[in-house]
Copies of this chain bind each other. A is one copy, B any other.
Amino acid sequence: MSNQETTANFTTAEMEETIARISSHKGVEGVMIMNREACRCHHSIDLDEDKAKTHSAALSELTAKASHIVGLLNRDDELTFLRIRSKQREIMVSPDKGFILVVLQNPNVSEE
């Protein structure tokens, strides 16, 4: 994939740089950037390509479903953030126009 290939106006180099920057924060276990349909995905998570596809597809569907629910309550409203908390980690999903940013974090590791 050439550097100029973009995921919704994001070059590969920009995505890699964003992933590296976020991954450097303490407690961050992994970062994923994908287009809304999840057919193109960059990530820093220890996953093989098949699993990365499965995970990004599931996250893309979850984001679409959350957007749908927000729209059910008020057509003019718009999803801005999704936080999935489990016993072991926190998954933060930040949807933008053309892409979705996902950060996996261990909430028990503080930033100090």
Which A residues contact B (CB, under 8 angstroms)?
51, 54-55, 58-59, 61-62, 65-66, 68-70, 72-74, 76-89, 91, 104
CB atoms of B69 and A89 under 8 A apart: no
In the complex, which residue of chain B has the Cβ closest to the Cβ of A30?
A: B73
Q: How many copies does the complex hold?
A: 2
CB atoms of A80 and B86 under 8 A apart: yes
CB atoms of B91 and A69 under 8 A apart: yes
In the complex, what distance in Å separates the CA atom of A77 from the CA atom of B72?
30
CB atoms of B89 and A73 under 8 A apart: yes
CB atoms of B83 and A83 under 8 A apart: yes
Contacts of A59 in B (CB 8 A): 69
CB atoms of B80 and A83 under 8 A apart: no
Contacts of A74 in B (CB 8 A): 88-89
